[in-house]
Amino acid sequence: MASLIGFRLLLFLKMAGALWLQLMAVATSECSSGFKPSGRAPDLVVIGGTVADLVASPEAGGRLLEDTSVPGTLCISAGGVGRNIAEALTRLDTAPLFLSALADDGFAQLLERGYTHQPTGKLAAQTSFGMSNLNGAPKCALDMSAVRRVAGARTATFTALQTYQGELAMAVADMSINARITPDYLQLHASTIQGAVLCVADANLPTVTLQWLAQRCGGRDECGERKARPYLWLEPVSVPKAVAACYALRAGGLQAIDFVSPNEEELLAMAATVEPSSELDQQRKADQVILEKTGDSSAITRKRDSRDSDITRAASALVRAGIRNVIVTRGASGVLWARAASESETGNHAGMVFESLPAPLAAVRNTRGAGDSFVAGAVWGLLNAHSLAQSSYPATKQHTPPMCSVQAVRDALRSGLIAAKLTVESELAVSEELCAAALADCPSS
């Protein structure tokens, strides 16, 4: 096993080494001093990770061999949940204030300059930096001017080796720079954050940063009325980070969350965290034992004969914890929306409402970034609802526009599903076809 691991790392280094000099040349060859960012929506903030994804694989039909290199490709692309959401919103003409962290290395320069100028030279690897292929002209511009630069650090990277069929063989994630997205950094933009209509945060953020946001977003006063603060949408990112976010916010912070968008596994883990010693918590511990013994996650799914019941109970736990809208992403099955029943609704489960929205039919080519595009599309829909509500129901000190009416959220989630469809039908983390007109023109089902 050790020799195989060493071989795979050596293979990747051999493939990456020759390319690195070319990448550095591109990163330093030109300066985009004349770049003017597109118009920013002052009522929207996105906070989260920016990552360079590096994926090496043998050429078609090839296989990994020990103790030697094989012909293949290295694909480098821009990633990070927060960055993907910010890019998608920019494509939707709703450019946010984007807060993240980059180092001062070559990857940071590529991630930044890939959006703003057309480098010379041709790269030997496939490159896809989101909104701008490095071999072509940029198609739109994500404003990264507010992103924190950390001298001497390492830009976040996800380095993977996969088979030619696309199956993951090994991966290493270096996300340590996300610890530099600190409250002190956000404080520099506090007036914009607190004056925003909506703030999207991914769970890459440190505990203290999530707590800082929870103190300034969402929440209700002692009379149960919503405070005049930004709405807060939390994207859990992964099971470990979803659990960490719940631990960070268990002491009242979960009540600041207006929207959360976990997938099924993230949801189950979050529910077990907010209600320890519950049946869901015991179920999760039993599942972990199965996984450790078999290494087969499908064995867990086969063991459950009531998956939908588990999902419903888990969503209920998060609503009871204070989260107002739990949006469970379920891939081709669409989303499950859980919320407390309003006065005009009859709850169908202990005062809660569960509503399923189907996903549009899609010719799936890639699932990377689908959840991020979903969040962006839904946020776009919510902001549209806010703008319409503001024009007919002006905000005062006593009232705020009803952006989160049931119909407004339902329509926003449908927009998110369309955005996700466009991305899964592309080969990119954010589809180049994503635009406001596409969401406005596409049917919702």
pLDDT one-digit tens code per residue, 241-251: 999 999 999 88
Model confidence band, residue 190 (pLDDT cutoffs 50, 70, 90): very high
Tokens in use for 249?
A: 């916010």
Q: Over the stretch 343-356, which tens digit does the pLDDT of each residue have?
A: 777 666 678 999 99
Token pair for 49: 């990770």
What is the per-residue pLDDT for 302? 46
pLDDT tens string 316-327: 999 999 999 999
Please give the Cα distance from 232 to 213 (Å, whole number): 8
More confident residue, 118 or 262: 262
Does residue 429 register a pLDDT over 80?
A: yes
Beta strands (DSSP E) in 224-377 are 231-235, 259-260, 325-329, 335-340, 352-357
Residue 70: pLDDT band by 50, 70, 90 thresholds? confident
Most distant pair of Cα atoms in the chain: their distance? 70
Rounded CA-CA distance 249/262 in Å is 16
CB 434 within 8 A of CB 91: yes
pLDDT above 90 covers a percentage of the chain that reads: 48
At 245, the amino acid letter reads: A
Residue found by looking up tokens 């694909």 in the block? 75
Question: Cα separation of 369 and 357, whole Å?
Answer: 19
pLDDT class for 394, splitting at 50, 70, 90? Answer: low
Rounded Cα distance between 206 and 98, Å, is 17
- Per-residue confidence (pLDDT) for residue 71, from 0 to 100: 87
Which residues are within 8 A (CB) of 358 and not within 5 positions of it... i.e. 6 or more apart?
Answer: 333, 334, 417, 445
The Cα 315–Cα 223 span in angstroms is 25
